[in-house]
Structure formats: structure tokens, C-alpha cells
């Protein structure tokens, strides 16, 4: 076919437009990406399942109709194997569609497969998957980030126009920054969690991973909205994120928090952020210095709260109702053997940490205390947003690290989430976008955070940034 | 005279009367075939989330008001974490720090208030069926809304416990919050019991008793336990703090076989549910359902209607019945007679129909039957016949009497010819009566009843027979 | 600070069997993590309210209406072991 190669240089919205104008056949598009996955994915292992026949609704319609999308392996698709990259769900077939999946199907998108992740989203490198590690398409010796590493790597290599990931402490944004793509975590509650296999209920959000902000806005339009099946979902009455696809950002106040630029920040990342600040300044944004004084407590707070909730959310995996089961003669052994064999090491570590924090005698000192510190962290942001409209930080202190580098040092792995965690704790929308490359050609990501329900401001700033830069247009060569 | 005080606390779980479960839309219908009222939510599937049933909260508020509780205006749910196969998520969504109601009370007949510590909402677990080598799990019951009602340890005897349970049951039935049927499992009771030396302030070691499946079981179990603990204490033996099960076949409590680990439930606030605000409007809405308490009704019925305790206890055990009674009395102010007919022939028919909705007779119509009986317009048998005819149709009593010609033949003139016929046809009985066999007249009355198709007034027939026979003797 | 005994207690609470070796290993790792988390003790949180929910103002309810799930068959079939429409497990006692 003569028009093949252009697809990887077009954004999803542009491809969809060509479909609408009958310039291309939707099934040709699907096959194009399907073949590309088959040809290239073995180099990075971003996919777990690929569907020859798309999952779609023939009557679906939206501006993105006809396009394939990849889904992280923790979002339920009815009739499909959904495993959270864990042995304990290795044979689990989802019996219902997550709300976001229903919405995607109704919008005419085609689900092309499920992507690799850290088991149950526990991790920042996609090395904790029970299947394989997803490699970074920019350098296959490096991690793709996590836990949505599969989705980010697949989008970076243009195996799909876009994907869905989930973000609890940075799991969309950090892999997006390592892979050079846009990763968006919406305001908590904006997107329904019904059908997202839970890690930490008060922190989890589903969000889009795309190459650009146009696709991001259109996808958000499809997946956002209050859901009667999710008691924690809450939304704006009306929303249209494509309204924010506007280049003019004059007068928007962007805050730079000093706590995110201290020691520990990689030199090249720092320089790249400084360049980003300048680009915004030149475009008319007002740059202000702000303080987020409780930043240093975010990682500790997060690990207590998320592990505690996770330890409870993962109790249901016991081999009785679904999933992996180790047959034993007694019920007690059934539980302990199934969970011993079904969960990986990081999952066990988190469950243990969480169980400990909630247990009698430790609850006040750990769990309750962490909930209170969470208030302090949130307050920092509330104060900051009195002065500014958005906050700009690096997404990660370093670019992608080596596979195997941090896997045996959990604390070091946890600390790499230091810049992304605060937005989850505060329930705020945040996005990572590519803002440069290291001299070794590894992507660098910048993060923008906004006030709750001001997700549009992030689209606005990101779109404007991409108007004058082309970091997001670079494609890794494998 | 015992040297010990008995200290009992009762923990009652009632299923609230909602059509659907507490956090999902599955039916709560009783005795459906196994695993037919299930969905991914109540089966703890990956990715599911709970959404609170409004009616469950409303009924919980209603009960808290009826039990004189303080109401927490902002409540939240918590997870109670433990592993058990009847608990699909391996945690139960319940309430811990912020129950709906607290510091309430239930008044007993002698005026003693049984303090109620707390009233809270939670989800029910499933059912386990134990076979020899394996067990089976049915999730139909998982997620049915439960209200847990915990009393302070202020109950001092098994009879007090019974009375508390009875009035708790009636109170909840009156406000239509629960069926409170122990046979169907919509009311379950566990007890904590300890003994202490009379007038001592320090409480003794508390023993938990489970598996009491009827009200009688509760009484029997508590009485057994009192004796068991008393015997141990008198012999200076230690009472072990444990959980014991009531075994009704052996008529004793036995220690639970499974090694009870001290549970660390790791309660923490449920992150999948927001806090709930109990507004003034919600409270006002539920107050409308609060009716006269069963204890108060009992007292009033005895005083106002001059009925016996036994009669009143039957009547108040069913709010519908007691309401019907009062309405009937408003039409015919003879409470004793109304009560006799209500608790006799009416109740018999009511129980046999086993379905309140089938009873169509109006209190007014019913009162008419009783009135006609009292005025001798109907006799015992014809009144029953009329009742049977209109209890399910509410056909006007006068119509039935007219149509079936059931009007009691009382007028002496009418009866006299039947009397004479019977006397003529039964000379043997007549002479037996004359020779002193009193019972013979009943036989003759029976003949008159037969002849008149039961329409004769038996009292008057007897009088007339006696008169006529003696007349003829002369 | 989280010794082997506590780790074994936690393993029992969370129903995950671990070997003695694993208990030792996890005890070291978790202790290290908790040492870091002790940072939170630097803060005075005495009068601070815990943050549990963000933006919900009104009560979130469901009406008391029955909707029969059409997934009962799939749910039972997903079970690793079932018998006569019931989930089968080893004897509980």
C-alpha cells in the first residue's frame, strides 16, 4: 500500500480524519498497526495479547473512530484475558467491560491488544511482570519505566497511535517520560475506575498515553465523565478538552517549585527543564518561583497509603472464585499456597508492608499519620494554586535507568517516583511530555501539574509547547 | 439464692428489608437456587466497586431513631479485613468508628432501659455448605444489607434477654425495617455472658455464645451457660475466655473446635465509598415511619380495652392485627367481643392463608359480624360461615346474610314449629331428658340446628325445647 | 525493627506462605523501608485532619431496584472448581 509509512508520522486524530474522508480504509489501518506489532514488538515486548480481530462496536462514533488503541493489562475487557501481569490472574477472563472500555467501543475505537506492566502496577520499570520485561525502544538495555511501561513503549515505537495506562504514583507519567511520549493522569475522579483492577483505590486513575496533545484531548473527551458505577467518580457537568487546543498561553502563570530542583536531579534533565522554562517564558507565560515544602515526605506517605490499600485490594485473590489456584487438602493451605505461588516478590513486599501498617498497634503511627501528612501535601498545592495556574517540574530525577539496576533495591526504585507521587496524593491532574533528549539519545520528560478539574490547562500548555518544538515527533529507530 | 450477678450483652444482626443488595443490584430474595442472585460486584471480582443502596441507609436511620439512638450526621464505612470463603473480597465493608447510631435504648415492660451501644450497617456474607471432604460456597446472601445492633452488657437474665429480643423484633417489624425472622436468618443473635459476685463492680470473664438459632435457643443456651459458669466459680475454677457454640441436640454449649486466632481486622476507612451525610430532610422522612412502640401499645391495650395480657401479647405481635383490632373497635365498641372473634376464628383463617395480602375484609365489615353475633342475629356457626365468605373478598356482610339466608332464626314463633317437629321425631331423647339425663337436650338442640340449616340460635332453641318438653309433660 | 517474628505474623494475616529464608530477607528489606518511612515522624500532625476524599459534596446512592446480572454463568465457569452451581473448596475445618 502506498500510504503506509506516513501513518507513523501522523497523529491519531489526523489518521481518523482521513478515515472519515474515505481516503483510507479503517481495516487497512488496523492491519497496518497489527502487522507492525507483529514485526517489531519482539524487540521490546510491550504487548501481552494481540487481537487479530478487533474488539469494537460497529455503530461506534467519535472523531477518533476507526483507530486502534492498546489497553494496559489491568483494565477489564469482556471476554479477554486480563491478568495484571500476574500469575495469580493468569487464566482470568474478564466477564465485563470496564466503563472506559465501553466508552472507547461506543466511540468506534478498536482495541488491538493488552500491554505489559509491573505486576498489579507495583513498580516503576515493568521489570516486575510475570511475563517479561518491556525494553525501552530508545535503548533496549534500559527500562521503559513503569508500571505502564508496555503502553508507553508501544506508543513510542508507533506500534499503536495511543494507549490507556493507569497511574497511582506516576505509572503513566514516568514511563511516558522514559519513552518520550505524552502521558496524562486526570484529576482524581474524572475518569471512572470501574473495571480498573485496583491497586490503591484513593490514588488510581486511568489516563491516555499518546504522542501528542491533540490525541490526548480527544481521548480524554471519550473516557472522562461521572460514572454511576464508581462512587468516587465526580466530574464537571460539561467538558470539552479540545477547546484547549490553543497555542496562545500569554499570561498563564507557571510555578517552579524549588524542592523539585535540588540535589539528586540529573544534570541533563535539569538543563532540559531550564530550556523548557525558557520556551514557556518566550511564549508569554509568567514564570514564578513557588514552594511545596512537604515534598520530601511524599514518597514515605505514598508507600504507606498505597501499600495499605493494596494489601486489602489484593486479598480477594485466593483461588476460590477465579484465577490461579494451587490445589491443597485444607482451606488454609489453599490460601497460603495459591498466594505464595501466584504473587511475585514485589507484590508480596507491598502486601506485607501494607498489612503491617494497618495492623493493630501500628495503625496510628503509620496509616493514620500518613493520611494526615497527605493533608499537608495537598495544602501545599492549594496554597501554590493561589499564586499560579500550573506547576512545572521534571517528571523523573533521571532518564531511563538500566534494566536490572534498581530491581534489587526497592527503596531506590521507590525514590525514583519522587516527582510524580505528590500529584496522586493531592488528587491533581498531571501530565508528562517529552522536552528533550540526553546526549545518549534518551528521552527527557517534563511534568505539568494543575488544580483539580483544570485538566484543560495542561492540554493548553502542552499543545502550545508542542506547537514550537518537535521532541514529540522523534521516533526511535530499532 | 444465687451469689452471682449475671451480665449479658446481646449482639443482633438483622437483614434490612430492601429489594436489592447493599452495594449492588442483585435481588435479596430468600431461598433462591444457589448462586442465582450474584454479579461481579458481590462476588468480589477484579475491578468492581460498591455503590450504596439508598434504602439500606434510610432503613438504618429509621431503626436508629426507633431505638432512641444519637445519630452520627456524617458517617463512613470501613473495611474489616479477614479471610473466609464466604467473604469474596476477604474483607467486609462495615462500620467501625462512625456507626449510624449510638447510645440508644430499648425499654422493657418493667421500665428497665436496655442501653444500646451502637447500630451500624454492613454487608452480609455468603453461605457455606459442609460436606464430608469438601465445602461448597453460595454467594446469594453475600451483600445483603445487615444492621448490627449491639447492647451494653446490662441484661441480667435469660428472660430479660428473651424480652429484649422480642421487643427489638417487634420494634423493627412495626417500622417495616426487617422481617426479623430467625428461621429465615433475617435475625441472628450472639451473646456475651459473664458472672460476677453480687455487688462486685469488676466484671467476670466474658464468654461468647454463638449458634443460637431460635429465641428458645437463646434462652436455653444462656441458662445452661449461667449454670456452667456458676458451677465453675463455686468450685474456684477458672472461666476461660472463649467462644462456645450452642448445641441444641446436646442441650449444652461446647467450645468452638477451630482454634480461634485473635483477629486483627486492620480496620481502615473504605476508600471506594465517600462519606455520607444524614441530612435533616432524611431524618424527617424516616421519622414519619415511627409508630407507637410495641411496649407502649401493649400497656395501652391492657388499660384502654381491658384485655388480658395473653390476648394483648398475641395482638401486638402483629402490627397489622393490632391496627385491624382498633379500627374494628371504632365501629363496634365491644373490645372483648371483637378480640374473641379476632384471636379465634379470624386468626385461624389468617394463619392458614399465610399471606396478609389475601385478607381483604375491612375492619368495618368484620365488626358487623361480631355485632350481629352479639345481637343474636347470627349464631356461632353462621357467623363463622359469613366470616369465611368475606375474609378474602370483603363482600358486604349484609349481602351475604341476605343471599345465603343466614339470618339467625331467633324469633320464637319461627322456631316453635321446628321445636315441635324435633320433639315428635325424637321421643327417646325427650324421655331421657325428662328422666334427668341433662345431656339429652344437647342432642335435641343439634336436631333443631340440623333442621334449620344451623340458622337457629342454639341458646334460644335450648330454652324453647326445655319449655316445650316440660309443657308436654304436664 | 521488623523482626522475623513480625514478618511471620504478617504472612499469616495476609495468608501468604513464606520460607524461613524469605522471612529473614523480607524482614531486612521491610525494616529498611520502614526506617525511611519514619521520616514522617518529623512532622507535627496533631491537629491535622486525615485526607480521605477529595471533591465529593453530595451523597452518592443507588436506588433500591433489582437488576439481574446476566453474568451468573460466566462467574461460575470462571471458578477453578465448582459443583452443582456452587463454588467448591477443601473442607473448611
Contacting residues for B211 by C-beta, under 8 A, at least 6 apart:
B245, B246, B247
Question: The cell 459473664 sits on which residue?
Answer: B194
Rounded-to-integer distance, Cα B433 and Cα B436, Å: 5
Confidence (pLDDT) at B144: 98
pLDDT at A1: 45
* Contacts with B137 from chain A: Cβ below 8 Å: 320
- Residue B90 to residue A315, Cβ atoms within 8 A: yes
How far is it, in rounded angstroms, from Cα A469 to Cα A436? 9
Give the count of Cβ contacts less than 8 A between chain A and B. Answer: 92
Q: Which residue has the cell 488496523?
A: A30
- The string of pLDDT tens digits covering residues C40-68 is 999 999 999 999 887 777 899 999 999 99
pLDDT class of B452 with cuts at 50, 70, 90: confident
Average pLDDT over residues B314-339: 95
Distance of alpha carbon A465 from alpha carbon B322, whole angstroms: 78
Question: In terms of CA atoms, which chain A residue is nearest residue B24?
Answer: A229
HSE-up of B349 (CA within 13 Å, CB side)?
19
Find residues 2-31 of chain C whose CB sits inside 8 Å of chain B: 12-13, 15
* CB within 8 Å: C56 and A234: yes
**pLDDT at position B416, please?**
84
* A310 is a domain residue: no
A183 lies in a domain? Answer: yes
Has residue A462 been placed in a domain? yes
Q: What percent of chain A has pLDDT over 70?
A: 99
The domain containing residue A438 runs over which residues?
A: 5-259+265-291+379-473
Please give the helix or strand (H or E) that residue A443 lies within, else none: strand A443-450
Cβ neighbourhood burial of B462 (10 Å; 0-12, 13-18, 19+): middle
Quick one: what percent of chain B has pLDDT higher than 70?
96
Any domain includes A154? yes
Q: Is A171 a catalytic residue?
A: yes
Please give the pLDDT value at position B2.
Answer: 77
Q: Which domains does chain B have, with CATH numbers?
A: 4-286 (no CATH), 294-404 (no CATH), 412-473 (1.10.10.410)
Residue of A305, A316, A363 to mutate, testing the B interface (most B Cβ within 10 Å of its Cβ): A316
- B153-202, pLDDT tens digit by residue? 999 999 999 999 999 999 999 999 999 999 999 999 999 999 999 888 88
Residue recorded with cell 478538552: A241
Render pLDDT for B37-80 as a digit per residue (tens, 0 to 9): 999 999 999 999 999 999 999 999 999 999 999 999 999 999 99
For chain B, the average pLDDT equals 92
Q: Looking at beta carbons, which residues of chain B come within 8 Å of C59?
A: 274, 276-277
- Beta bridge pairs of residue A253: A286
HSE at residue B262, side-chain half, CA atoms within 13 A, is: 4
C51 contacts on B by Cβ (under 8 Å):
none
Question: Domain locations in chain C?
Answer: 4-87
Question: Are A192 and A100 within 8 A, CB to CB?
Answer: yes
In the prediction, which pLDDT does B357 show? 85
Please give the Cα distance from C54 to A203 (Å, whole number): 11
pLDDT higher than 60, residue A4: no
Give the pLDDT of residue A182: 98
The pLDDT, as a whole number, for residue B201 is: 86
Enclosing H/E stretch for B387: helix B380-390
Confidence (pLDDT) at B411: 63
The answer to whether B446 and B425 have CB atoms below 8 angstroms apart is: no
A468: in domain? yes
**By the 8 A CB rule, do C50 and A371 touch?**
yes
pLDDT tens digits, B206-265? 999 999 999 999 999 999 999 999 999 999 999 999 999 999 999 999 998 665 566 899
Give the span between the Cα atoms of B465 and B441, in whole angstroms.
8
The answer to ipTM > 0.90 is yes
For residue B409, the model assigns a pLDDT of 66
Q: A237 to chain B nearest CA, in Å?
A: 19
How many folded domains does chain A comprise?
1
Of C2, C15, C54, the CB nearest to A188: C54
pLDDT at position A57, please? 83
CA distance A475 to B60: 60
Indicate if A124 belongs to the active site: no
Using only C-alpha atoms, what is the Rg of chain A? 21
Confidence band, pLDDT 50/70/90 cuts, at residue C93: low
Q: How confident is the model at residue A478 (pLDDT cuts 50, 70, 90)?
A: confident
pLDDT at residue B25 in the model: 97
- Residue B134 with chain C: CB contacts under 8 Å: 88-91
Nearest Cβ partner for C80 among A325, A369, A453: A325
Q: Is residue A40 situated within a structural domain?
A: yes
Tell me if A390 sits within 8 A of A255, measured CB to CB: yes
Can you give the pLDDT at residue B410?
A: 61
User: Which entry of A46, A124, A147, A151 is annotated as an active-site residue?
Assistant: A147
pTM value? 0.92
Q: How many helices (H) and strands (E) does chain A have?
A: 14, 13
All residues of chain B having their beta carbon less than 8 Å from the beta carbon of residue A202 are 271
Q: Does A7 have pLDDT greater than 90?
A: no
Considering only CB atoms, B19 lies closest to which of C15, C66, C85, namely: C66
**pLDDT at residue B460 in the model:** 82
Residue A336 per-residue DSSP state: H
Run of H or E including A182: strand A182-185
Instruction: Report the distance separating Cα A386 and Cα A245, nearest Å.
Output: 24
Q: Convert the pLDDT of each residue in A169-202 to its tens digit.
A: 999 999 999 999 999 999 999 999 999 999 999 9
- When pLDDT is averaged across residues A129-145 and rounded to a whole number, the result is 97
| Cβ contact A125:A111 at 8 Å | no
Q: Report the distance separating Cα A349 and Cα B174, nearest Å.
A: 52
pLDDT category at A56 given cuts 50, 70, 90 is: confident
Q: What is the mean pLDDT of residues C12-30?
A: 94
Q: What span, in angstroms and rounded, lies between the C-alpha atoms of A80 and A95?
A: 8
With residues binned 3-state (H G I as helix, E B as strand, rest as coil), the percentages for chain B, rounded to 5, are 40, 20, 40
A65 pLDDT more than 90: yes
User: Which CATH number goes with the domain that contains A104?
Assistant: 3.90.1300.10
Of the candidates B33, B26, B35, which has an alpha carbon nearest to the alpha carbon of residue C66?
B26
| Count of CB atoms situated within 10 Å of the CB of A139 | 19
Residue among A340, A353, A371 whose CB faces C17 most closely: A340
Could you tell me which of A60, A59, A58, A68 has the C-alpha nearest to residue A15? Answer: A68
Instruction: Name A44's Cβ contacts closer than 8 Å, sequence gap at least 6.
Output: A134, A135, A136, A137, A140, A144, A153, A154, A157, A478
**How does C7-17 read in b/e, with b if 16+ C-beta sit within 10 Å?**
bebbbbbbbbb
- The percent helix, strand, coil of chain A (3-state, each to 5) is 40, 15, 40
State how far Cα B334 lies from the chain centre: 26
- pLDDT tens for each residue of B393-447: 888 888 888 777 777 666 666 788 888 888 889 988 888 888 888 888 899 999 9
pLDDT in tens, B363-401: 999 999 999 999 888 888 888 888 988 888 888 888 888
Amino acid at each position: 500500500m502506498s500510504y503506509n509509512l506516513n501513518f507513523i508520522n501522523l497523529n491519531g486524530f489526523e489518521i481518523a480524519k482521513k478515515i472519515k474522508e474515505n481516503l483510507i480504509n479503517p481495516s487497512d489501518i488496523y492491519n497496518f498497526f497489527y502487522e507492525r506489532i507483529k514485526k517489531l514488538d519482539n524487540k521490546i515486548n510491550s504487548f501481552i495479547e494481540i487481537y487479530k480481530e478487533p474488539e469494537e462496536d460497529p455503530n461506534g462514533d467519535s472523531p477518533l473512530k476507526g483507530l486502534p488503541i492498546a489497553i494496559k493489562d489491568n483494565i477489564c475487557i469482556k471476554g479477554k484475558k486480563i491478568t495484571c501481569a500476574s500469575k495469580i490472574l493468569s487464566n482470568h477472563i474478564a466477564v465485563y467491560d470496564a466503563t472506559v472500555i465501553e466508552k472507547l467501543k461506543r466511540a468506534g475505537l478498536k482495541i488491538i491488544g493488552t500491554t505489559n506492566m509491573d505486576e498489579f502496577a507495583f513498580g516503576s520499570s515493568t521489570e516486575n511482570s510475570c511475563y517479561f520485561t518491556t525494553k525501552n525502544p530508545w535503548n533496549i538495555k534500559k527500562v521503559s519505566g513503569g508500571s505502564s511501561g508496555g503502553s508507553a513503549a508501544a506508543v513510542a515505537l508507533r506500534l499503536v497511535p495511543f494507549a490507556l495506562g493507569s497511574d497511582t504514583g506516576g505509572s503513566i507519567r514516568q514511563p511516558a517520560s522514559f519513552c518520550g511520549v505524552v502521558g496524562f493522569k486526570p484529576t482524581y475522579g474524572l475518569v471512572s475506575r470501574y473495571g480498573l483492577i485496583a491497586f490503591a483505590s484513593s490514588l488510581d486513575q486511568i489516563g491516555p498515553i499518546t504522542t501528542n496533545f491533540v490525541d490526548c484531548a480527544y481521548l480524554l473527551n471519550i473516557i472522562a465523565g461521572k460514572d454511576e458505577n464508581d462512587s468516587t467518580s465526580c466530574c464537571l457537568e460539561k467538558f470539552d478538552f479540545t477547546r484547549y487546543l490553543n497555542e496562545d498561553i500569554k499570561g498563564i502563570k507557571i510555578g517552579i517549585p524549588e524542592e523539585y530542583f535540588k540535589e539528586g536531579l540529573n544534570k541533563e534533565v535539569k538543563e532540559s527543564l531550564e530550556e523548557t522554562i525558557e520556551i514557556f517564558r518566550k511564549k508569554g507565560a509568567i514564570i514564578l518561583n513557588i514552594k511545596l515544602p512537604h515534598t520530601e515526605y511524599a514518597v514515605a506517605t505514598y508507600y504507606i497509603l498505597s501499600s495499605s490499600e493494596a494489601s486489602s485490594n489484593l486479598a480477594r485473590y485466593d483461588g476460590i472464585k477465579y484465577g490461579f489456584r494451587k490445589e491443597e487438602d485444607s482451606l488454609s493451605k489453599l490460601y497460603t499456597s495459591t498466594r505464595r505461588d501466584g504473587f511475585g516478590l514485589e507484590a508480596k513486599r507491598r502486601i506485607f508492608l501494607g498489612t503491617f501498617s494497618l495492623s493493630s498497634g501500628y495503625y496510628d503511627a503509620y496509616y493514620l499519620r500518613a493520611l494526615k501528612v497527605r493533608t499537608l501535601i495537598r495544602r501545599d498545592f492549594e496554597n501554590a494554586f493561589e499564586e499560579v495556574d500550573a506547576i512545572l517540574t521534571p517528571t523523573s530525577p533521571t532518564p531511563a535507568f538500566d534494566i536490572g539496576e534498581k530491581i534489587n533495591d526497592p527503596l531506590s526504585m521507590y525514590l525514583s517516583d519522587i516527582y510524580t507521587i505528590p500529584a496522586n496524593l493531592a488528587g491533581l491532574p498531571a501530565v508528562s511530555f517529552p522536552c528533550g533528549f540526553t546526549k545518549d539519545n534518551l528521552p527527557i520528560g517534563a511534568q505539568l501539574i494543575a488544580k483539580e478539574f483544570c485538566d484543560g490547562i495542561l492540554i493548553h500548555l502542552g499543545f502550545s509547547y508542542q506547537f514550537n518544538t518537535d521532541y514529540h515527533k522523534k521516533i526511535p529507530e530499532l | 439464692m444465687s451469689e452471682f450477678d449475671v451480665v449479658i450483652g446481646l449482639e443482633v444482626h438483622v437483614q434490612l428489608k430492601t429489594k436489592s443488595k447493599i452495594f449492588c443490584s442483585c435481588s435479596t430474595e430468600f431461598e433462591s437456587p444457589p448462586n442465582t442472585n450474584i454479579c461481579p460486584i458481590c462476588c468480589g471480582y477484579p475491578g468492581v466497586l460498591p455503590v450504596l443502596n439508598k434504602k439500606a441507609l434510610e432503613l438504618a436511620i429509621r431503626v436508629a431513631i426507633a431505638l432512641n439512638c444519637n445519630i452520627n450526621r456524617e458517617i463512613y464505612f470501613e473495611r474489616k479485613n479477614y479471610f473466609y470463603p464466604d467473604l469474596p473480597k476477604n474483607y467486609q465493608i462495615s462500620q467501625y468508628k462512625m456507626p449510624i447510631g449510638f447510645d440508644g435504648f430499648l425499654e422493657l415492660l418493667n421500665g428497665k432501659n436496655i442501653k444500646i451501644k451502637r447500630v451500624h450497617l454492613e454487608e452480609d456474607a455468603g453461605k457455606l455448605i459442609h460436606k464430608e471432604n469438601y465445602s461448597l460456597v453460595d454467594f446469594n446472601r453475600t451483600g445483603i444489607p445487615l444492621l448490627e445492633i449491639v447492647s451494653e452488657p446490662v441484661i441480667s437474665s435469660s428472660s430479660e434477654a428473651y424480652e429484649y429480643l422480642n421487643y427489638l423484633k417487634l420494634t423493627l417489624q412495626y417500622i417495616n425495617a426487617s422481617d426479623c425472622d430467625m428461621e429465615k436468618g433475617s435475625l441472628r443473635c450472639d451473646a456475651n455472658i459473664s458472672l460476677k459476685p453480687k455487688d462486685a463492680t469488676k466484671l467476670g470473664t466474658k464468654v461468647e455464645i454463638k449458634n443460637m438459632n431460635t429465641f428458645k435457643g437463646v434462652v436455653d443456651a444462656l441458662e445452661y451457660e449461667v449454670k456452667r459458669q456458676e458451677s465453675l466459680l463455686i468450685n474456684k475454677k477458672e472461666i476461660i475466655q472463649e467462644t462456645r457454640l450452642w448445641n441444641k441436640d446436646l442441650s449444652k454449649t461446647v467450645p468452638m473446635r477451630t482454634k480461634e486466632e485473635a483477629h486483627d481486622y486492620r480496620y481502615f476507612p473504605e476508600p471506594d465509598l465517600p462519606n455520607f451525610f444524614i441530612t435533616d430532610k432524611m431524618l424527617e422522612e424516616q421519622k414519619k415511619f415511627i409508630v407507637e412502640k410495641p411496649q407502649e401499645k401493649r400497656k395501652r391495650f391492657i388499660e384502654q380495652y381491658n384485655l388480658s395480657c395473653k390476648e394483648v401479647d398475641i395482638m401486638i405481635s402483629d402490627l397489622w392485627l393490632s391496627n385491624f383490632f382498633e379500627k374494628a373497635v371504632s365501629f363496634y365498641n365491644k373490645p372483648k367481643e371483637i378480640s374473641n372473634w379476632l384471636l379465634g376464628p379470624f386468626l385461624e383463617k389468617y394463619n392458614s392463608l399465610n399471606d396478609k395480602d389475601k385478607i381483604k375484609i375491612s375492619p368495618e365489615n368484620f365488626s358487623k359480624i361480631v355485632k350481629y353475633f352479639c345481637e343474636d342475629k347470627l349464631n356461632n356457626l353462621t357467623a363463622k360461615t359469613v366470616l369465611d365468605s368475606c375474609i378474602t373478598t370483603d363482600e358486604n356482610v349484609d349481602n351475604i346474610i341476605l343471599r345465603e339466608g343466614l339470618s339467625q332464626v331467633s324469633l320464637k314463633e319461627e322456631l316453635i314449629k321446628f321445636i315441635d317437629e324435633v320433639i315428635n321425631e325424637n321421643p327417646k331423647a325427650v324421655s331421657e331428658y325428662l328422666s334427668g339425663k341433662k345431656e339429652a337436650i344437647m342432642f335435641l338442640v343439634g336436631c333443631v340446628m340440623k333442621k334449620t340449616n344451623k340458622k337457629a340460635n342454639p341458646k334460644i332453641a335450648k330454652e324453647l325445647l326445655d319449655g316445650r318438653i316440660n309443657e308436654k309433660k304436664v | 525493627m521488623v523482626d522475623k517474628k513480625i514478618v511471620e505474623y504478617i504472612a499469616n494475616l495476609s495468608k501468604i506462605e513464606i520460607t524461613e529464608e524469605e522471612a529473614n530477607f523480607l524482614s531486612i528489606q521491610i525494616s529498611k523501608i520502614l526506617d525511611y518511612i519514619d521520616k514522617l515522624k518529623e512532622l507535627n500532625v496533631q491537629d491535622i485532619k486525615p485526607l480521605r476524599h477529595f471533591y465529593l459534596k453530595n451523597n452518592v446512592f443507588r436506588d433500591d431496584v433489582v437488576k439481574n446480572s446476566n453474568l451468573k454463568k460466566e462467574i461460575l465457569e470462571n471458578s477453578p472448581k465448582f459443583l452443582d452451581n456452587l463454588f467448591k473448596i477443601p473442607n473448611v475445618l
